[in-house]
Amino acid sequence: MHLFFTPDISGDLYQLNEEESKHCIRVLRLINGDIVYLIDGKGGFYKTEIIDAHPKRCALKVLELTERYGKRNFRLHIAIAPTKSIERIEWFLEKVTEMGVDEITPIICQRSERKEVKLDRLNKIIVSAMKQSLKAYQPKLNESIDFKRFIVQSNEKVKFIAHCLDAGRKSLGQSYHKETDVLVLIGPEGDFSEDEITLAMKHGFEPITLGESRLRTETAGIVACAQLNFMNE
C-alpha cells in the first residue's frame, strides 16, 4: 500500500508535492491508473488514482473518501516529562501513535533534566508512525509547558497522575471507566516531587499506579496508553 500524508487535501483532485511525486514515479515507478492512499491527519482516509504520472507534479483523483477513519471511542491526552535522552521520548511518541493517542504535552517538572524539546523533529516521528500504522488522525503535540501552569489550566474532567510514592494510589483499572476522555500525567526520571503531587491533587488529579513494576518514564507512558486503549476495546 502506497500511503502519503496530505494535510492540505480538499476536493476531488490532489497534486503531490515534488518530493512525493518523485517518490511515486521515479522510485516506486507507478503509472497512470495506479492506486495511492492518502491520510489527512483529521480522520480522512482517501483512495486515489494517479491521473497524471508526472515526476514533479503527480496528479491524483479521489475515488473514495472514508471520514473518521479509525475513530476511537475515547480521547486520550498524555502529559509527560521529556526524558534526558531524547531518543526515549521519540520511541514513546512512535509507540503511542501506533497504539492510539490524541494529544501529547511535554511537561517540565521540578526534577526534569531536560527543559526543552524540538517539536519539528518529534512531529516527523509522529507522522511516520501514523503512516506505518494507518492512522488517519494526527496526534496533537503541544509546546512544552511548566508543570504548575499546565496543572492549573487543564480542564479535562477525568485526570490522573501516575507517581511512585506509596500513599493511596489505585490502579488505572480501578480508577478509569471505559469510553471516558482522560488526561494522564507521567513524571520525569526521579518522579514528581511531593509538592507537585499535592498541587495536582488539589486540582482534581487522582493518583494512580500502573502496576507493581518500577517503570522508566517512557515505559510508564507506553503502559498507560496500552492499558487505556485495552480498557476501551
CA-to-CA distance for 154 and 126, rounded, in angstroms? Answer: 23
Q: Are 98 and 127 in contact (CB under 8 A)?
A: no
Nearer to its own copies, 82 or 221 (CB): 221
Task: Rule CB under 8 A: say whether 135 interacts with its own copies.
Answer: yes
- Give the interface segment with its own copies, choosing from 6-14, 49-57, 59-67, 96-104 (CB under 8 A): 96-104
- Give the interface segment with its own copies, choosing from 11-19, 93-101, 113-121, 146-154 (CB under 8 A): 93-101
CB of 172 to its own copies, least distance (A): 8
Give the closest residue to 129 by CA, choosing from 100, 97, 105.
97
Q: Which residues on adjacent β-strands are paired with residue 13?
A: 61
User: Binding its own copies by CB under 8 A: which of 173, 175, 180, 201?
Assistant: 173
Q: Are 54 and 68 in contact (CB under 8 A)?
A: no
User: Residue 223, CB half-sphere, CA atoms under 13 Å: how many?
Assistant: 18
Nearer to its own copies, 73 or 153 (CB): 73
Could you write out the DSSP letters of every residue in 87-122? HHHHHHHHHHHHH--SEEEEEE-TT-S-----HHHH
Task: Rule CB under 8 A: say whether 152 interacts with its own copies.
Answer: no
- Give the interface segment with its own copies, choosing from 12-20, 76-84, 107-115, 225-233 (CB under 8 A): 225-233
Q: Applying CB under 8 A, which residues contact its own copies?
A: 70, 91, 95, 98-100, 132-135, 171, 173, 211-216, 219, 222-223, 226-227, 229-230, 233
